[in-house]
Each structure stands twice: as C-alpha cells, then as structure tokens.
Amino acid sequence: MLETFTPAVCGSRKRQIVGQSLFAVAAVVTSAMLGLLLGLLGSMLGAEQAVLGAAALALVAAAREAGLIRFSIPQARRQVPEHWRFELPLPVWATGYGAGLGAGFFTYQPISTFWVACAGALALAEPVPAALCVSLYGAGRALMVVWPRRRADDPTAAVERLTSRRGTLLRANVIALVACGILLAVAPAAGAGVTQIAQNALDPTVDRGNLAFATASGDVVVRPASGPDRTYNGAAEPSLSGPYLAYRDSAGIRVIRWADGTEVRRIASPNVSKPALAWPLIAFVRRAPPYDKLFVRNLVTGRVTLYATVRLPTDLGRPSLRHGRLAWHSATRKESKIMVVTLSSGARRTMAITRIGLLGNPSIYRTRVVWADARFGVTFLKQGWVTGSRRVVLARINSRTVSYWTTALASNAAYMTRWVMPTVRTDLFRRTP
C-alpha cells in the first residue's frame, strides 16, 4: 500500500502529493460518515444505555490484545484492489483506496480496537460527535500513508521500523483500551443510568416498587416487584396506588385491586379519562365540550373538587396525584406550562412555563416533579422541586422524530415513554441516579 504512494508509481512528486491528499481526505470523510451513521443508528435505537456494553467490549478487547483470551474478530481479509492503480486515473484510485480503508469494514484489522470504536460511536447515540470520533480512525489511516515520507525515502523502511516496535505498540493499545473501558464505565455519559424496561409500552405508573404500563395492543400490564405480570385487556392509561389500579376502559374509569382484579369503584362515563390514583383520591379529566375539566374525587366520601378548566383544543394533560399534590400540564397555541397544586391549601405553583417549547406529562413524588420538555430537535426529561427553583436535566434526546411522552416518578427512579414519531413506536425507559 505504502509503495503505491511514491513518486515512481504516481508519476512525479507532485502527483504523489495529490494522491496522498486525496487518499487522506477520502479516508477521513469515509470514516466520519461511518461514525455519523453509527451515531444516527444509536440515536434511533436508543442505544445510550449501550455505553456499559461498549465499556465491556473495550475491556474484552484489551484482554484479547494482551493475549489473555483468544478469539477471532470479524473482518474482510483483503487488501486494496491493486489493479485499480493500473486501470484507473490517479484521483480515482487514490480516493477509492482512502474510502475503502477509511470505512474499516472492508480491510484487514490486525487488532480489535476498530470494533470498540464502532461500539462506542453507536452508544454515543449522537451523529456529529460520533462522526468526529470515528474520523480519527481515517486520520490514522491517512497518517500512515503520509508519515513515512518524512523519515525515509523508502516508505517500507519506515514500516519495518514500526513493525520492530510492534510489541510496544500492542502494549500501548492494551493500555488505551483499558483506559477507554474504565472511562466509559464510570463516565456520566449521555443516557448513563437510562435503561429500557419494556417495549411497545407507554404510560408508566409506579408505586411501592410495582410498575404498571399500557401496551400498544390496548392492554394494561402490572409488573409487581415480585411475582408474575398481570394483564388487563381492553384497558389504557393506568395509575397505581398501593394495592389499587385505576385505568380507562370503554365504559369510563375502573378502579380494581390489581392482585385479583376485583372491581372496587367505577366512574361510568365515556367522557372521563386520564386517571391518577392516590387512594382514596382520584384525579381525572372530564370532557364537556367545549371544555376539559380536571377533577379530584374522593372515592370514599364522594366529594368532588374542580382544579382546572381549559377551553378546547387546549391540551389538559395526564395528571399526577401523589402525597397531597396534583400536577398537570396545559398547552395552548401560545404557551405550555406545568402546574402543581397542594390539595390541602389550594396553593398553586407554576413549575415551568414556556412560549417556545412544549411541556407535558408531569409526574410528582413528594416535592419532586419530572416532566417532558420538547424543543425543536431536542427533548429533555427535566426535574424540579416544588420547594425551590432548581431544575436538572435527567435525560435528553437529540432528535426531531424521537421524543419523550408520559412519565412516572418514584423515590429512586424516573420512568418515561420514549416515542418514535414516524413509526408511532413507544418504549419504556427508566432513569436511575
């Protein structure tokens, strides 16, 4: 390969420089494109949680390179097609060689580091940073073509010198891989602590270690802290509170004991939806065109209190009721906001308000509130405190087509629905500290 980029093969010193330049540009651009695709794929797959996988892969690769374990790595045991340089003009074959080697998949890989870099780019789940990172691989390929010229007239001599230091290089590679593995494992990378917990699921609700969610097929699944899942057909919009589960069905809102399915209460009206249960209180939205109204009913005493009224098509979102506080969102064409009211005092607080984003689906746990904050090209899962103005970003998605939807909050974790808009696919994720 190196003998290819010599004045003798290229035709002149000037043509050699042109060939090397084209090779370098093609290698860097192709590897950057590879990184871009991997980052894009990672963002589409939600591969942020694969960071730990990439760390493990780096450590396994380090063990392989140190000779501790043995396994073959996937690769095409081919070199660049030599006949190109006889048949094609210099700009074409130089660019082709660069592109072929920059892509990485189509050539011999003496060490496994390339695959670790690919896994890291996938787990990064952000196209541009991934492109920048993987482009260094192409830069390395280009360097190996350009560098020998500086030290010797015969490029093969430079390669031989490098080969004589193979042991040192391999040891340096092992150290670099171990460092990568450790840094990936401990770094608070984007999405670290975010794990997928259910596919084709939405509307999470959590209480005392028990989780429930709706499925895309129109069921509600209760996943107890111990024991098998329980499924309720023809149900949606679940809300857990201790031994009780509220959900919406075709006849209204049903409250059951989720352990055995016994019905406890029912709000029989096709116009009620979005239940939020904190036994014996239940919050729900009643549609009475042209209004949507948010009520809280005491299922023991029957007392009903109105907390919000909006004129359609204003969106009055899924409420959250816990520990004596009620949270909900409203979104008009002018603004969207997250509201919290303390039931005992009636004190209201606007947790967040924006005229340029879309805030939605809050969940409350004691004094903490989480909500989805969608902006153009990015969606945040934010957390705030009822008692203060501090706000933190728990998770984010950089995408125009993937967003967070409904949320749930527990003492040690936040749950969120991740929504891929074009396919209307929803999956549940958990974010732990």
Q: Which of 202, 253, 283, 369 binds another protein (CB under 8 A)?
A: 202
Measured distance CA(410)–CA(74) in Å, rounded:
43
195: which 2 tokens? Answer: 């794990």
The yes or no reply on residue 336 touching another protein (CB under 8 A) is: yes
**Region of 131-139, 181-189, 283-291, 334-342 interacting with another protein (CB under 8 A):** 334-342
393: which 2 tokens? Answer: 């970003």
Q: Using CB under 8 A as the criterion, what x/- string covers residues 237-266 for binding another protein?
A: x-----------------------------
The yes or no reply on residue 311 touching another protein (CB under 8 A) is: no
What angle is formed at CA 232 by the lines to CA 231 and CA 234, rounded to 5 degrees? 135
What angle is formed at CA 13 by the lines to CA 11 and CA 18, rounded to 5 degrees? 85
**Closest distance of CB 335 from another protein, Å:** 6
**Closest distance of CB 408 from another protein, Å:** 15
Q: Using CB under 8 A as the criterion, what x/- string covers residues 205-224 for binding another protein?
A: ---------x-x--------
Measured distance CA(148)–CA(159) in Å, rounded:
7
Q: Using CB under 8 A as the criterion, what x/- string covers residues 267-306 for binding another protein?
A: ----------------------------------------
Distance of CA 278 to the CA centre of its chain: 31
- In terms of CB distance, is 54 or 327 closer to another protein? 327
**Region of 33-41, 57-65, 87-95, 312-320 interacting with another protein (CB under 8 A):** 312-320
The yes or no reply on residue 417 touching another protein (CB under 8 A) is: yes
Distance of CA 339 to the CA centre of its chain: 27
Total residues interacting with another protein, rule: CB under 8 A: 32
- In terms of CB distance, is 233 or 332 closer to another protein? 332
> Up-side HSE of residue 81: CA atoms within 13 Å toward CB?
12
- In terms of CB distance, is 5 or 419 closer to another protein? 419
- In terms of CB distance, is 126 or 203 closer to another protein? 203
Percentage helix, strand, coil, to 5, in the chain?
35, 40, 30
Measured distance CA(275)–CA(154) in Å, rounded:
77
- The one-character DSSP state at 386 is T
> Up-side HSE of residue 188: CA atoms within 13 Å toward CB?
6
Distance of CA 119 to the CA centre of its chain: 15
Q: Where does this chain bind another protein (CB under 8 A)?
A: 202-203, 214, 216, 236-237, 313-315, 331-336, 354-358, 374-377, 400, 405-406, 417, 419, 421, 424, 426
